[in-house]
Amino acid sequence: MFHRHTTKNGESILVCQMDDRHLWNTLKMYCRKIKAARKVLEGKAVPVDPILGAVIGEATPIEQHTKARQELMSSHHALMHFVIEAAVRDFDVQSVLQDAYGRDQGLNRPTVDDNEDENPKYLRGK
């Protein structure tokens, strides 16, 4: 929310001041970068990835892996600011994040029942 974002034309604005479309497009851009980097790290990317092309380029496989890991960590860190603001605005970011990270469910999610003492509130109703 209070993180500064630099636009393509060099203007620096607070994430909380971005209009909805700009916020959504920026969030999706970081998700695309994360997904592309993840594919390189998983060995599933084409030699010149359209998203990471400038990052990967003519690098050796070891250099590609290193650069993809750096891009993944950088994008992951930057993304959190936009996800928080999107959540405050009640955007539905779940499917975009699941696609970026290659996940579609929780890990070892406990079964949900109505016993509030045993099941956290965030799991009820799912």
Render pLDDT for 61-98 as a digit per residue (tens, 0 to 9).
Answer: 788 888 889 999 999 999 999 999 999 999 999 999 99
Bridge partners of 6, per DSSP, are 12
**101 pLDDT more than 80:** yes
- For the chain, which residues make up each domain, given as ranges? 4-123
pLDDT digits (tens, 9 = 90+) for 28-46: 999 999 998 898 888 876 5
Model pLDDT, residue 50? 56
Portion of the chain with pLDDT greater than 70, in percent: 71
Whether the pLDDT of residue 48 is over 60: the answer is no
Q: Specify the pLDDT at position 62.
A: 83
pLDDT score of 126 more than 50: no
d(CA 78, CA 3): 9
Backbone dihedral region for residue 36 (phi beyond 0: left; psi -120 to 50: alpha; all else: beta): alpha
Q: Which amino acid is residue 123, in one-letter code?
A: L
